[in-house]
Every structure is written in C-alpha cells, then in structure tokens.
Chains A and B, each alone.
Chain A
Amino acid sequence: DAGVTQSPTHLIKTRGQQVTLRCSPKSGHDTVSWYQQALGQGPQFIFQYYEEEERQRGNFPDRFSGHQFPNYSSELNVNALLLGDSALYLCASSRRLAGHRDTQYFGPGTRLTVL
C-alpha cells in the first residue's frame, strides 16, 4: 500500500517565478492538506482540500493556491516567488469521515529553494 507521495523531491527557482508541487494521497484517503516547514521550524498549515474545494486556510497570502482533482490528488501553486518561500513543503492526507476526522499522514516533502 503506497503512502503519500510528492513530486518533485527538490526544486530550485528564482524570485518572481511560479512553481507547482504535486501530491498523491494514501490509498483510501480523500482529503489533502498542505504545510510549509521553514528551516528549523515546525510545519505551518497552508490549506486543506476536500471534495475538490478549499475547506480551511491558514495565514498565507493569495499567492498560494491549490487544486484537488477527482482522483483526490492535489497541487500547490505559488506565484511571484519570494526568497522567504524557500522551505520544505509537506503534503498530508487523511479521510474526512462523517462525524470523524482521521489522522493525517505525511509525505516526504518537496524542498523548494528560491534564489
């Protein structure tokens, strides 16, 4: 049973560029959350997707956007990259059962470096 997968593993961009990160959830999971982990810090919640809609959002600007596809996979897009966007981007998947909230399982992350 494959766990959460993310691509690419590493990415280098320059300021002002745009980037797309991808995530495939664990089998049987329907919900994807994205987190940003700056060096030496804990992950910060960006947003969560369920039924192809953004359901909750953390304190991140509109430059951060996402999408969820019918097969539950998800993309994170960041526009107009800033140096401060350099971080490890983590995807977590879970099941959003009626009346229950399942544990979130994390992928290995995508390391984004902005020069």
Chain B
Amino acid sequence: GNSVTQMEGPVTLSEEAFLTINCTYTATGYPSLFWYVQYPGEGLQLLLKATKADDKGSNKGFEATYRKETTSFHLEKGSVQVSDSAVYFCALRGPYSGAGSYQLTFGKGTKLSVIP
C-alpha cells in the first residue's frame, strides 16, 4: 500500500537558518505529493504540491521537488522565521485509477521550532 516516511522531529533552528525536512514515499505509479502545515490548535493548511515527476512546488519561500528516481519530496526553505514554527506533514494521493486514488496518506509529521 501507499506510505510516507518523514524525518523524526522535533527540529529546532535559529531564525534565518536553512531548513530541510526529508520525506520519502512508497506508492505504485505516479502519485501526487503534498506538504501541509499545522499551526498550534489549528487544522491543516496546504503549503505546496506537485503532481508529476520533476515538478517543483513552491509557496511562501518553501520549495519541494518531486523526485521519482529517489521517491522523495523534501521540503526546503532558505531562511526560516519564528512564524514558521509549526508541524509539517508530507502526504501523497494515489494515482487516478489506483487504490487510494482520492484519499491522502500522511507521514507522522515533523515539528519545527524556530528561535529568535
């Protein structure tokens, strides 16, 4: 079945540091890939997405590239801010005609804390 593995947290960085959160996946065919962010006490917000190999999703300074050869979708940001402190979830949605074609499968999440 489909699965997502994220790097274990928590991750603590100083403001303006470089961020990488690793995400790898297992799925048949070509899934769509997502990063969602969850701020304390809130639901999930879509951060970025990529629907085919070599696509780069980007939003609010965050980027992730869909790497089919390494089955990865690592999240990066060049300079983090205190306001980026949140839990980040990597997720996949199965190919259109396959199992799980409409559901999202999530990783366990990575908690990021950014200190001034």
Contact = CB atoms under 8 A, between A and B. Distances in A.
A, B bound:
yes
Per DSSP, chain B at the interface is strand
Contacts of B108: 40-42
Nearest to A6: B43
A24 to B, nearest CB: 14
Nearest to A88: B43
Nearest to B4: A42
Given A41-B109, A101-B93, A33 B103 contact: yes
A101 B103 contact: no
B43 A101 contact: no
Interface residues of A, number: 25
Contacts of A92: 44, 104
Contact of B102 (A4, A41, A55, A109): A55
A43 B44 CA distance: 10
Given A106-B45, A108-B43, A45 B105 contact: yes
Interface of A: 4, 31, 33, 35, 40-45, 48, 55-56, 58, 90, 92, 96, 101, 103-109
Given A48-B103, A96-B102, A101-B101, 12 more contacts: A33-B102, A35-B104, A41-B109, A42-B89, A42-B106, A42-B108, A44-B106, A45-B104, A90-B43, A103-B34, A106-B45, A108-B43
Interface of B: 4, 32, 34, 36, 42-46, 49, 89, 91, 93, 96, 100-109
20 contacts: A33-B102, A40-B108, A42-B89, A42-B107, A45-B100, A48-B103, A55-B102, A56-B101, A56-B102, A90-B43, A92-B44, A92-B104, A96-B102, A101-B32, A104-B46, A104-B104, A106-B36, A106-B45, A107-B43, A108-B43
